[in-house]
Amino acid sequence: MPLARSDAGSFQERTHPSRPRITELRLSAFAGHRGAGFPLGPVTLFAGPSGSGKTTALRAYEALARLGGGAAVGEVFLDPGACVPDRARPDGQRRRGFRIGCTTDGPEGPVRLDVAVQAEPELRIVGERLTSGGLVLLETALRDPSRPTVQAAWHTAGSAAVTRAPLPDDRLGTALLPLRVAGKTDGQRQVLAAAEQTVVALRSVFACDPRPDWMRTAVPTASGRLLPGCDNLADVLWRTRAECGRRHAQFVAAVRAGCFGPVTDVLAEPLGDGTVQGLLDRGDGLRTAFGRLGDGELRYVALALVLLTGPGVLDVDAAGEVPEAMQTLTVLADAFDRSLDPAQRRGLLRLAARMGARGHIRLVGTVGDASWAAGTDGITVVHLDP
């Protein structure tokens, strides 16, 4: 089991009570993790050697996010057997599974969500608990394995203490509560508020892994929403450069600090065949196409854009019913420092800390070694040892 220890930066996280956010990830029994709880700040780096469970932690975070968005458990866990803890033995009915959870903070204060998933012999959610202040707001359990449901009980505090009803075993009950809870009593309204805080915090997630080879070619103009691989970066620049001059100026300044040679602008150029290519404007009429940039430069440009934008530009399933000003977007970046030189990774980390302090963007990334991040305010480093 990987062991974890956390170093929090000296910067104290500002409170944004109106913006739900995840403050802890729990892997009670998931792949190589057992009994693990990881604090999450505005910028969190999971650090450790290969095999220590860094990517696994991000995979669990993304899985919770997709469940919170209403995805079916079979869509989220394509290989559920790989999530079962190492050396876990099946019970007398050949059942094995895993457990993950998180804590969100926001207007309702800390709210805990814990989920138990059966991976074998069939994939299903067999238990879920939503709690706040020691009060169980929702609890589900599998009572009859022959039925595709779990028995749910949620806090009512009316004429009856709880309401009981079946819920489907393939989806997160917390995400379904707004459809089932009337909100007539104070207890029901507390359940709805806690569920909404949890779902909003979970849904606003963008898993990003820029792929330089994909970013070097011209791309068709389309939605202008950045894909996780950032292969359509030129198309997004075609849109964002004209949308907000102030934000684009900040982006150009960030790129200038991380790319070799002078940079006066970052833009997309139409090629006349319905495609656009990305360019760095060097000044004096000189331009460098993205196809000529190094891997580190391209990853730096893409990550800088991600940190300086939001749900309206990134291809995320954000909570559309909640204003963007009330949401916090979390960027998941596996191998955050891949191909980056020391100046580039430090520059991106400072940018992430600055955006995290504003409350709109949070970053959870993985790195092999985080010694270079020491002393940077606003950074939480979780050290994993195999």
What value does the mean pLDDT of the chain take?
91
b/e sequence 75-101, b meaning 16+ C-beta within 10 Å? ebbeebeebbbeeeeeeeeeebbbbbb
Is residue 334 domain-resident?
Answer: no
> Which segments of 182-294 does DSSP mark as H helices, in order?
186-203, 212-215, 233-243, 245-258
Nearest to 130 by CA among 141, 140, 143, 121: 140
Q: What mean pLDDT comes out for the span 162-168? A: 94
Is residue 196 domain-resident?
Answer: yes
Domain count, the chain: 2
pLDDT digits (tens, 9 = 90+) for 72-125: 999 999 999 999 998 888 888 889 999 999 999 999 999 999 999 999 999 999
Token digits of residue 42: 């505005």
Residues 22 and 162 in one domain: yes
Q: What mean pLDDT comes out for the span 120-138? A: 96
pLDDT of residue 376: 85
Is residue 25 domain-resident?
Answer: yes
> What residue has token string 């050290």?
383
Contacts of 187 (CB under 8 A, 6+ apart): 155, 156, 157, 158
Residues 270 and 161 in one domain: no
Q: What is the DSSP string of 160-173?
A: SSEEEEEEETTS-H
Is residue 354 domain-resident?
Answer: no
Residues 140 and 226 in one domain: no
Residues 226 and 95 in one domain: no
Q: Which long-range contacts (CB under 8 A, 24 or more apart) does 291-298 make?
A: 291/216, 291/217, 293/212, 293/216, 293/259, 294/212, 294/339, 295/212, 295/339, 296/339, 296/340, 296/341, 296/344, 297/258, 297/259, 297/260, 297/344, 298/210, 298/212, 298/215, 298/216
Residues 29 and 124 in one domain: yes
Host domain of residue 286: 214-313
pLDDT of 259 > 90? The answer is yes
Is residue 363 domain-resident?
Answer: no
Residues 222 and 306 in one domain: yes
Is residue 386 domain-resident?
Answer: no
pLDDT of residue 10: 43
Residues 162 and 222 in one domain: no
From 288, 313, 338, the end of a domain falls on 313
Is residue 138 domain-resident?
Answer: yes
From 313, 332, 361, the end of a domain falls on 313
Residue 188 · residue 182 · CB < 8 Å: yes
Token digits of residue 109: 């204060």
Residues 18 and 144 in one domain: yes
pLDDT of residue 244: 84
Residues 275 and 228 in one domain: yes
Is residue 371 domain-resident?
Answer: no
Residues 8 and 109 in one domain: yes
Q: What mean pLDDT comes out for the span 37-46? A: 96
Residues 93 and 195 in one domain: yes
pLDDT of residue 300: 97
Q: What mean pLDDT comes out for the span 302-310? A: 92
The partner residues of 115 in beta bridges, in order of sequence, read 100, 128
pLDDT confidence tier of residue 323, bands split at 50, 70 and 90: low
* CA 330/CA 174 separation, integer angstroms: 20
Residues 251 and 270 in one domain: yes
pLDDT digits (tens, 9 = 90+) for 331-383: 999 999 999 999 999 999 999 999 999 888 999 999 999 999 988 888 999 99
From 155, 172, 205, the end of a domain falls on 205
pLDDT of residue 11: 43
Nearest to 72 by CA among 124, 143, 109: 124
